[in-house]
Structure formats: structure tokens, C-alpha cells
Amino acid sequence: MELQDRGKMHECQEKQLAGICRKLLDEGKGDVILAYAGGEIENSTIPLFIRGCGEIERLKYDEYCYPNLAKYLLENKGKTGIVAKPCDARAIAMYIAENQLARENVYIIGMECNGMKNMDGSLAPGCCECSVHVPPLFDVLVKCNGEVVEREQYTNTGAPAGYEDDAVFNAVTGESGNAGDDNGVNEDKPLEDKSLERFKKELDKCILCFACRQACYGCYCPVCFMDRTMPAWISTDPGMGAKMVYHLGRAMHLAGRCVECGACERVCPSGVKIRYLIKEINSFCKDVYGYRAGMNPGEYPVLAAFNKDDKEIGFLRSE
Amino acid sequence: MKCAVVPREKFKSAVGLLIDGYVAAIPVKENGVLEYKKMDGKAGEKDLAGLAAYAVDCDELPYKSPKEFLFPQVEELMVFDNDSCTAVEKDTRDKIAVVGVKPCDLNALKVLLTVFFQGKYKDDNVTGRRENIMLIGTGCAKKKPGCFCDERGINKNFSSECDIFIEKPVDENDSFRFYSFTVGGDDVLDRLVTGGFGSYSDYEPACGQREGNGCEKEELVIEAEETELFDTADWEGISERCLGCGICTYICPTCHCFDFRDALAGNKTIRYRCWDSCMYPKFTLHASGHNPRASKKERFRQRVLHKYVYVKKNFGYVACTGCGRCIRSCPAGMNIRNVVREISGIRV
């Protein structure tokens, strides 16, 4: 898809969004709507909390809508509407599956998405290799061409609700699903470098600021194990040992729970690219248990479910 | 205070002479991230002078501030066991030359030094390090997105809060100007001139004369008293977007809160000091379990009021220099400039 088409696509979607938000407020379906507004800095957007019609004028939807909105849902703001890209919708589905959120309290405005951009115009991390372009969960869907589809209508057409049906998607947009990944990691390709050296090289850059944890959809424990003091699990000395405990611990906690939004890499101030580790565990869950986080809110979380037919190869992957 | 004029063709070797005998900390771009790197290898192995000259010329701000050279993220203080306790010797072997520090960061380091030196408590660890550091400053050609140094009364083109300030040529016929502001800086300039890399000229205070950015006045300040803002400002609404990730405090050039921790190493215990962040749930958590800053509303209020009210009240400076790092890096688009404008009654 040409760049100018992309711009037009978001313009169409933005116009529809404003209408939907106005309707939501009028009908009293949402006390607050989580959406995007233009940022102070060029090529950026910021989260917007719409509580009245006046704020709708600030609404923006363009190719820089990368901030994660779904995490605010955990703050219990009452009936909430949310503008959700596929990764955000997957996070919502995960929250519902993990009993963190009641489905009836959230109205999901799904956005068909072709990937968002970083401030510098490159494809955002997560978007590079994303294969889910239609949110798996929504109440109303705003398609790339600006068409608005209600949930009932959408299922009636028989189209799969957001599963990786790239063939259907590509027929619509005329673009190949995989835009390539300049980080050298591709979800479907086997990992090239699994060495300890690579891991250490990435960890070397880490300053243990925990920003990735705060930005992550999957990290919502009231008290993170890293924040426990009695006893303390690690020292705050950013040595290799503490960094390994943190990153491996986080990866294990995210096993089968990462919705591939890329927020961890986007927020990292020192460019630590550790997502490959979590992706590896994600693809393990997909291969062994056929599970992908946030694709179906009715599905039991993979590590909370027991099935006697499960393969017993364990985490070490030794058959 | 001296000023030496260095012709373009001698610039690189002059910078080489400046950092000679020092471990150079130079902003280097790796994987798209510009960061100060300590070059402690042998000088011959890398083109240090070239890197340093590039850093002076480079018009970008490193993602982390240079505060870590004065106030490292982790610092061991003492080692003890049941019978004995020894203070950890301060590492004074390395003399570090920090190259290409922009005026916002230079002013921020001034605030840090004031906090650690002029208050009720003097911190020898931090101020002692200053003696081993040569700060080589340089100006900014243009404002980056999110920068607001002009509103904070900081001249992006010039600063005297360093040992040596290098002013870039304004046009093709112009030369570089090296200004010195400390005794150490004077010595280096002497070596530079006797070495034939430049010549002394009449000191010309560039501040304000050379296309200053109209920044002599601090516009962005909070006039109100803390008591007026503490409960009246809508802190809940202001902090609603904040994710509490704390990245703003880690990359901030003036944030200086720290914590003491003990770590076991064999049968000894190491007591060390490390950076803390007011954005964290553990910040000022009492042993009883009570936390005076229980939610992000209180934490964000602490961050803003500390920078703009408390430090100013205690030390005379506002602890924000408008470098814009927190604004550019925030994953949720928090903007301290807008918050200050809002609560000080100036509408955006």
C-alpha cells in the first residue's frame, strides 16, 4: 500500500471514530472513552480520555497511534469505551480470560490495522512482524476503508474473527502481511542466534529501569516480584545476575501471555531488544498447546489449563 | 577566563590534545541510540580525537544525561561483617573528560552539584568526582522536538558551567573558539596555545551576543506556594495517563533521589547507594508498610513539585533545564512543560 493511501486510510478511520464516540456518549454506553489525541511532538500521539463531546475534537487517529491504551482499563473507570488496534484487543481478550475485566464493562471499537510507525517513520517494533490485522474481539469494527461493521454483521459474513487469515487481509489491502523485520527477528522463521552471548549483549545495555514492565500489557501484578523487599529478590545493582533474574523472570511470567504489541522495546531508552526471548516462548506455546494469547476471551489461559493430552516436553524443549 | 581561537584545520588535533591524559566519555551512536561511552582503551586503537570532534559537532542529545559521571547509578559505600566495617575506597584513578555536553546538561550538573554540596549535607563522593572530571561543553544548533530550554532561561548556544566550552564557527570563514572557565580549563588552553593549535584572543562573552535564543528570562516557573498547589491542582487528572514506568527519572539530568541497600557477598555485606525514582511504588515506602505516596497521583505531584518548587526553595534553582528527554521518551505522552503551565495558571 502506498504511503499516501495509508494516510487516507487513517483519515477515513478517524472520521468514523469521531461519529462512533459521539454516539457512545449520547447513548450513555461509556462514561469514558480511551482514544488518541495529537502529541506535542511531531509524529506522536498521546492517550486521550474522552468524557464529554468537547474532547472529541481533540481525537486523532493516524499512523503514529502506538501508545497502549488497554492497560488503563485495569483502573476500573466504570463503563469504558476503547479504541483498540488488534494488539490492544488481544490484551483486552487476555484480561477477560484472566478475570481482570468484565466484558460488559468495556465497549471495544476495533480498528483494522496495518501497523503503526515510530516517531522517525520506521515501522514500530511488534508491527514489523504482526500477522493479526483485524482485532479478534470488538463491538464495532472500523475497517481500513472506513467501513463500519457491527459485531453481529461481521460474524454473519462468515469471515473469521481476526485469525491470521492473511490471504483475506491481503486481498483487501493488496499488501503482503510480513513487512520484514529490521531487528533481524521474524516470528515464523526459526531463531538464528539463540546463544548466551546474544542474550548477554542485549542485557549489557539494560539499566534495570523497569520501564518495559510498566509498559507491558501482561505485567499488571499489584506488586511485582522485583519490587518485593522482604526478602528482596534481586539487588538493584544493574549487574548481569540481577538483569538475568529480571528478564528471565519476566519472560517466564509472560509465557503464552505476550500479545506482541512491542511496547517493551518501544519504551526502552537504551534499545534493549529482548522480545525475541518472549517470542520464542510464545511460539513454543503456539506449537505445543496451539495457544495464542488474547485471540479468544473464552479460552482458558494456557498455563492455567490442564489437558491430559498435553505434550510433556516441558520448558526445556527436550523431547 | 580565557578564549582561544582554533582554526578549522587544527580543530581535530586540538580536541585530541584536550582529552589527552583523560579517559574520554564521548557520545557514540550504536544501534540508533546515542550514548556516552567511556573510551578507556589505548588511545592509538581508536580515532578518539575524531570521535570527540564528531561529538562536539553532533547536534543531538544523548539519551541519558551525563549525570552518571558525577552520581553513578550504583556506588558501593562500605563492606561489613560481624566484626569489622571498612569504607570502600573511592575510585579516583580515572580522570574523565566528558565531551560534547550541551548547555541544558551543563546547567543540570550545576544543580546537582549545588544539591550535593551546598545544602545541610555535603556529599564528598559526588563533589570529589567533580575534581576528576573535565567538562567540555558545546552548543546546540537547533531545538529538538520537546526541548524547552529557552522557556527555562537557558541559552542553548552557550554556557559557562563547564571547564572548556567549544563554540562552533558561525560561517565558513569563522574559526572554533575554546573558552575556559576553571583553573583546570586555563591550563589546558595554555597547552593548546603553546602547542600551536590556536591563539589567544580577547575574551568575548558570547552569551546573549551570539544569537542567543531570547532566553534571559525564566518564563516557565511556578510562582505559587507548595501549599497552594498541593491539594488544589487536579493531580489525579494530570497524572491519569502516567504508567509509572519511571523512565523520566532515569534519563533526567537533575533527578538525584537515591536509596541505600545491602547486598550479601559471601559472609560479608556490601552497603551501596543506587538511584531511586519517585515514580516507583517502593519510593519512600515505610517499614510499617505505609506509603505516603500511595498512587501515581501523589508520585507525579512529587516529581513536578520537587523539580519546580522544593529544590528552588532549598537551593535557589529550578531543577529542570528543559532538555525535553522525559517528554520525548514517555510512552504515555506525559509533558512536564504543559503540566507546569497548567498549574501555574498559564493556559496552554
pLDDT along chain B (348 residues), means of 10: 88 87 87 82 64 82 91 91 88 83 95 89 87 92 88 89 89 86 91 89 59 63 79 90 91 94 84 91 89 93 93 91 92 91 69
pLDDT surpasses 90 at A155:
no
Looking at residue B206, its pLDDT comes to 52
**In angstroms, rounded to a whole number, what is the distance separating the alpha carbons of residues A155 and B120?**
69
Q: Are residues A109 and A146 in the same domain?
A: yes
Assigned domain for A312 exists: no
Instruction: Tell me the average pLDDT across A75-90.
Output: 91
- Which of B260, B138, B70 is closest to A229 using CA atoms? B260
Are residue A155 and residue A75 in the same domain, yes or no? yes
Contact residues for B251 (Cβ-Cβ < 8 A; gap 6+): A269, B63, B64, B65, B325, B326, B329
For residues B61 and B146, is the Cβ–Cβ distance under 8 A? no
- A59 with A145, same domain: the answer is yes
Number of domain units in chain A: 2
What local confidence, expressed as pLDDT, does residue B204 receive?
Answer: 64
- Same domain for A152 and A104, yes or no, is yes
Interface test with chain A among B30, B236, B243, B296, by most A beta carbons within 10 Å: B243
Give the nearest partner residue to B32 out of A49, A207, A271, using CB atoms.
A271
**In terms of pLDDT, which residue wins out, B188 or A184?**
B188
Grid cell for residue A283: 511460539
B30 vs A contacts (CB less than 8 Å): 271
In this structure, of A200-204, A282-286, B52-56, the range with the lowest mean pLDDT score is B52-56
Residue A225 lies in a domain: yes
Residue A72 lies in a domain: yes
Q: Are residues A7 and A132 in the same domain?
A: yes
Would you give the end-to-end CA distance of chain B in angstroms? 41
**Residue A130 counted as domain residue:** yes
Q: Are the CB atoms for B250 and B277 separated by under 8 Å?
A: yes
Task: Specify the pLDDT at position A172.
Answer: 36
pLDDT at A289 over 90: no
Is residue A178 assigned to a domain?
no
B270/B196 Cα distance (integer angstroms): 50
- Do the domain assignments include residue A147? yes
pLDDT at A234 > cutoff 80:
no
**Whether residue A143 is found in the same domain as residue A201:** no
Q: Mutating which of B36, B37, B247 best tests the A interface, going by the most A Cβ atoms within 10 A? A: B247
| Contact residues on chain B for A39, CB-CB shorter than 8 A | 333
Q: Strand runs (DSSP E) across chain A, as ranges?
A: 32-38, 45-50, 80-84, 106-111, 140-142, 148-150
Sorted by sequence, the CB contacts under 8 Å of residue A4 that are 6+ apart come out as none
SS3 B103: helix
State how far residue B27 is from chain A, nearest Cα, in angstroms. 13
Put simply, whether B23 touches A (Cβ < 8 Å) is no
Q: Which of A173, A207, A223 is the last residue of a domain?
A: A173
- Residue spans of alpha helices (H) in B234-335: 235-238, 247-251, 296-305, 311-315, 325-329
Q: Are residues A129 and A223 both part of a single domain? A: no
Is residue A176 scored above 50 in pLDDT?
Answer: no
CB pair distance less than 8 Å for B240 and A49:
yes
Do A88 and A202 have their domain in common?
no
- Hunting for cell 478475570 — which residue is that? A99
What CA–CA distance (Å, rounded) separates B275 from B68?
A: 10
**DSSP string of B107-165?**
HHHHHHHHHHHTSSS--HHHHHHHHTEEEEEE--SSPPTT--TGGGT--TT---SSSEE
pLDDT-derived band of residue A184, with 50, 70 and 90 as boundaries? Answer: very low
Q: Looking at the DSSP assignment, which residues form a beta bridge with residue A81? A: A33, A107
Do residue B246 and residue A210 have CB atoms under 8 angstroms apart?
yes
- On the question of pLDDT at A178 being above 60, the answer is no
For residues A6-18, average pLDDT: 84
- Cα A163 to Cα A177: distance, rounded to the nearest angstrom: 13
* B145 and chain A in contact, CB less than 8 A: yes
CA distance B100 to A174: 48
Rounded CA separation B304/B310 (Å): 9
Would you place residue A191 in the very low, low, confident or very high pLDDT band (cuts 50, 70, 90)?
Answer: low
CA distance A158 to B228: 60
pLDDT band at A174 (very low <50, low <70, confident <90, very high): very low
Write down the ipTM of this complex.
0.80
Measure B273 CA to nearest chain A CA, in Å: 9
- For residue A44 the three cell numbers come to 506522536
pLDDT of residue A142: 93
- Residue A191 included in any domain: no
* The last residue of a domain, from among A111, A141, A173: A173
CA dist., res. A216 & res. A263, Å (int): 6
Residue A78 predicted with pLDDT over 50: yes
Find how far residue B160's CA is from the centre of its chain.
Answer: 14
Per the structure, the complete domain to which residue A248 belongs is given by: 196-304
B160 to chain A nearest CA, in Å?
29
Which residue's C-alpha cell is 529501569?
A209
**Which range (A119-123, A139-143, A290-294, B90-94) has the least confidence?**
B90-94
Q: Where do the domains of chain B lie?
A: 2-70+91-201, 226-256+277-343
Of B64, B245, B338, the CB nearest to A210: B245
Q: Are residues A86 and A148 in the same domain?
A: yes
For residues A89 and A224, state if they share a domain: no
Which of B64, B245, B328 has the CB atom closest to A211's CB atom? B245
**Percent of chain A scoring above 90 in pLDDT:** 36
Chain A residues closer than 8 Å to B146 by CB: 40-41
Residues A30-76: pLDDT tens digits? 889 999 999 888 889 999 999 988 899 999 999 999 999 999 999 87
Distance CA A174, CA A172 (A): 6
Question: Does the distance separating the beta carbons of A214 and B246 come in below 8 Å?
Answer: yes
CB A114 within 8 A of CB A1: yes
CB burial of residue A289 (10 Å; 0-12, 13-18, 19+): middle
Q: Is A253 a domain residue?
A: yes
B250 at interface of A, judged by CB pairs closer than 8 A: yes
Picking from B243, B331, B333, the nearest residue to A266 by CB comes out as B331
Give the domain-ending residue among A173, A206, A241.
A173
- Return the C-alpha cell found at A313: 516436553
Strand spans (E) along chain B: 2-6, 23-30, 33-39, 74-80, 85-87, 96-101, 133-138, 164-167, 176-180, 199-201, 258-265, 268-275
- Please check whether residues A89 and A219 belong to one and the same domain: no
Site of grid cell 561489613 = B80
Q: What does the pLDDT read at residue B30?
A: 80
Q: Which residues of A touch B (CB under 8 A)?
A: 39-42, 44-47, 49, 67-68, 71-72, 205, 207, 209-211, 213-215, 223, 227, 229, 232, 235-238, 263, 266-267, 269-271
Is B331 within 8 Å of A235 when comparing Cβ atoms? Answer: no
